[in-house]
A and B are shown apart, each in its own frame.
Chain A
Amino acid sequence: AQKVTQAQTEISVVEKEDVTLDCVYETRDTTYYLFWYKQPPSGELVFLIRRNSFDEQNEISGRYSWNFQKSTSSFNFTITASQVVDSAVYFCALSEGPGTASKLTFGTGTRLQVTL
């Protein structure tokens, strides 16, 4: 069975600090997809990034970057120069099987609190 572990329950940082959210996953599939979603207090899950299992290239998008390492089954997410608006719960998710990503397995989430 697939599993996603986010060991960090809550992280507090001061604005402008960099913060890394950890995600470790388990799957027997050879083709899979990993996602990060953000859930602000309003409740809606906001899509942030997607990474395919066959593409380990790490990228930077604005203040966001991610580090995907198949060897350690990790998909970590970094926010550079954090802002108060980044305060939310962040979820790592794994799609089940090849094909469409219609069935996501989520981690338990990491609550990020950014203060002034």
Chain B
Amino acid sequence: KAGVTQTPRYLIKTRGQQVTLSCSPISGHRSVSWYQQTPGQGLQFLFEYFSETQRNKGNFPGRFSGRQFSNSRSEMNVSTLELGDSALYLCASSLGTVLTDTQYFGPGTRLTVL
């Protein structure tokens, strides 16, 4: 089975711009979660989508948004980029319906904001 894929792997943007990151889950997985990883704050949960609906949300400003498509692929959007948004953005997929579910992570998208 193919793993979780994320595109692009690297991005460089400037302050004020917006960016869209994409995540394709493992086949059969219906839940996609997004995490931000920075040296200062570590790994932080952004949000989770299941069956095209946001099911969980972390403590991030409204500039961070996402969506999920009918094929379970997910996109994350960050508007009005700030320097502090520079991070590794990790996507994880899981079945989403099993009590003892496990999240499997993609390779991440490294975003640099200049």
Contacts and interface: CB of A to CB of B under 8 A. Distances in A.
B100 A50 contact: yes
A99 B107 contact: no
B107 A102 contact: no
A84 to B, nearest CB: 22
Interface of B: 31, 33, 35, 42-45, 48, 50, 55-56, 58, 88, 90, 92, 94-108, 110
Q: Is the interface of B mostly helix, strand, loop or mixed?
A: strand
A106 B43 contact: yes
Contact of A43 (B48, B55, B88): B88
Interface in A78-111: 91, 93, 98-109
Interface in A47-69: 47, 50, 52
A102 B50 contact: yes
B13 to A, nearest CB: 19
Count class of interface residues, chain A = 20 to 34
A100 B31 contact: yes
A40 to B, nearest CB: 10
A93 B102 CA distance: 11
A104 B34 CA distance: 10
A91 B42 CA distance: 10
Given A47-B105, A50-B100, 19 more contacts: A33-B100, A43-B90, A45-B90, A47-B102, A91-B43, A100-B95, A100-B96, A100-B97, A100-B101, A101-B100, A101-B103, A102-B31, A102-B50, A102-B103, A103-B45, A103-B56, A104-B45, A107-B42, A109-B43
Contacts of A101: 94, 100-103
Contact of B107 (A43, A93, A107): A43
A44 B90 CA distance: 8
Contact of B110 (A33, A43, A99): A43
A106 B42 contact: yes
B42 A109 contact: yes
B35 to A, nearest CB: 8
29 contacts: A35-B102, A43-B88, A43-B90, A43-B108, A43-B110, A44-B107, A45-B90, A45-B92, A45-B105, A50-B100, A99-B99, A100-B31, A100-B94, A100-B97, A100-B99, A101-B103, A102-B33, A102-B50, A103-B45, A103-B56, A104-B43, A104-B45, A104-B103, A106-B42, A106-B43, A106-B44, A108-B42, A109-B42, A109-B43
